[in-house]
Amino acid sequence: MSPSNLNDDASPWYQVITGQDGPCIRLTGSYTLSALDRQLRKVAAKLARFAAQSDLYWDLTGIQQMDHAGAVLIWRAWGRRRPAHLLIRPEQERLFMHLEKAHPAPKPVRRDILWPILTLGRRYFLFWDHLLGIITLSGLVLLNVFYLLKHPRQIPLREISANLFRTGAQALGITALVGFLIGIVLSYLTSEQLHTFGADVFIVNILGMSIIRELGPMLAAILVAGRSGSSMTAQLGVMRVTEELDALTVMGIPHSLRLVLPKIIGLGLAMPLVVLWTSAIALLGGILAADLQIGLNFQYALSSLPDAVPVANLWIGLGKGVVCGMMIALIACHFGLRIKPNTESLGEGTTNSVVTSITAVILIDAVFAVVFSNVGLKIPR
């Protein structure tokens, strides 16, 4: 019996006949999910109508095949109890016995009416929870540093170098591309403006100042937060899902020492180098664009750069790099270690990690701007 030649008025599912004891409904055909398919609801509705007649005899022995879906369908048509008159095969009997004693599904948890307030409150506490977690983790890492100072042979050099390569060397391409393009755009926009005032030479000051002090470090930090931060969180998260973190714990290897510390040190070392690289490429792009746009001499630009930009700005930029790098790694590890062993939590944790670390990077930038507000800005004449 294939589902295609089932047709409504032929009613291949049942026949109503009049037996010796009164009206009798004989179920026929295959009561399986694949056979019922699209007809399922229609059949269920019809059977339910028959079940309303209390004196009807039900004969299930004519059913060729009945699977769980078919049994549930008939059972529900009966209103979850056996009809008074029922003829049934032993194996079907077993199925219905299962259905009789099957537990009702536990009710899904209903939403509280106060959920907006509850959510808000939970968010608030979650924020402090995260803050506390990050502080705790940094404390742990600090303790690890002291421990390693006493036991220098246990310094995880291999992991640090691997992180240096992954977060530093492999990030050079993308940071160079973005830096170069931003440099060109910046130079292109400002050089025209300066040209109209005849102040062409100040392009070097503008480019140097903005790129070395602000744009270079920020671009690099945001790119690295998106690139390396997310991969660190995902790595730790997957290790949680596959119970690798637990395996490390039972081997007596603390996560903070073997996983977190190398990442923080690695990124803390790699970040200033990436910042330097990004700034250099962005400056190059800017000067090249200015060369094409307003005919700025390349040699002149390079030689006047040290006069235009006090060297303190470079140190500030590199300092931002170190702090941002360590912060990104710390935040990424914090979120990675908090991931619960399921895929949804993994995705959520990675998103939160990237969003938080980019926010943190911008906050750090603001703090640097306030703290160093009178360093490196005055140009000695």
Judged by CB under 8 A, does residue 104 bind other proteins?
Answer: yes
Residue nearer to other proteins on the CB measure, 36 or 221:
36
Query: Looking at 37-45, 119-127, 170-178, 191-199, which segment touches other proteins (CB under 8 A)?
Result: 37-45
Q: Tell me how far apart the terminal alpha carbons of the chain are, to the nearest angstrom.
A: 97
Judged by CB under 8 A, does residue 87 bind other proteins?
Answer: no
Q: Which residue bears the tokens 């009945």?
A: 66
Sites for other proteins among residues 316-355 (CB under 8 A): 340-345
Residue nearer to other proteins on the CB measure, 63 or 215:
63
Instruction: State the number of CA atoms in the 13 A half-sphere of 224 facing the CB.
Output: 43
Residue from 12, 28, 48, 67 touching other proteins (CB under 8 A): that is 67
Judged by CB under 8 A, does residue 101 bind other proteins?
Answer: yes
Residue nearer to other proteins on the CB measure, 40 or 148:
40
Angle at 353 between CA 347 and CA 356, to 5 degrees: 135
CB of 287 to other proteins, least distance (A): 51
DSSP-based three-state secondary structure for 65: strand
Judged by CB under 8 A, does residue 73 bind other proteins?
Answer: yes
**347-364 as b/e: b if 16+ CB within 10 A:** eebbebbbebbbebbeeb
Residue nearer to other proteins on the CB measure, 49 or 98:
98
CB of 178 to other proteins, least distance (A): 34
DSSP-based three-state secondary structure for 103: coil
Q: Which residue bears the tokens 């078919």?
A: 70
Judged by CB under 8 A, does residue 185 bind other proteins?
Answer: no
DSSP-based three-state secondary structure for 48: helix
> In the 8-state DSSP scheme, what is residue 375?
S
Query: Looking at 62-70, 135-143, 330-338, 358-366, which segment touches other proteins (CB under 8 A)?
Result: 62-70
> Which residue in 372, 364, 363, 349 sits closest to 232, CA to CA?
349
Angstrom distance (rounded) from CA 210 to CA 232: 30
Judged by CB under 8 A, does residue 248 bind other proteins?
Answer: no
Task: Provide the token pair at 76.
Answer: 């529900």
Judged by CB under 8 A, does residue 61 bind other proteins?
Answer: no
CB of 80 to other proteins, least distance (A): 9
Residue from 15, 53, 65, 297 touching other proteins (CB under 8 A): that is 65
CB of 84 to other proteins, least distance (A): 22
Give the CA radius of gyration of the chain.
Answer: 36
Q: What size, in residues, is the chain?
A: 381
> Which residue in 98, 95, 3 sits closest to 42, CA to CA?
3
Q: In what order do the strands lie in the sheet with 85-87?
A: 14-19, 22-27, 57-59, 85-87
Judged by CB under 8 A, does residue 238 bind other proteins?
Answer: no
Query: Looking at 32-40, 129-137, 262-270, 303-311, which segment touches other proteins (CB under 8 A)?
Result: 32-40
Angstrom distance (rounded) from CA 174 to CA 224: 10
CB of 286 to other proteins, least distance (A): 47
The amino acid present at 265, given as its one-letter code, is I
Number of residues located near other proteins, criterion CB under 8 A? 39
Beta strand spans in 294-341 (E)? none
The binding site for other proteins (CB under 8 A) comprises: 32-34, 37-38, 40-41, 44, 65-69, 71-73, 75-76, 91-92, 94-95, 98-99, 101-106, 108-109, 241, 340-345
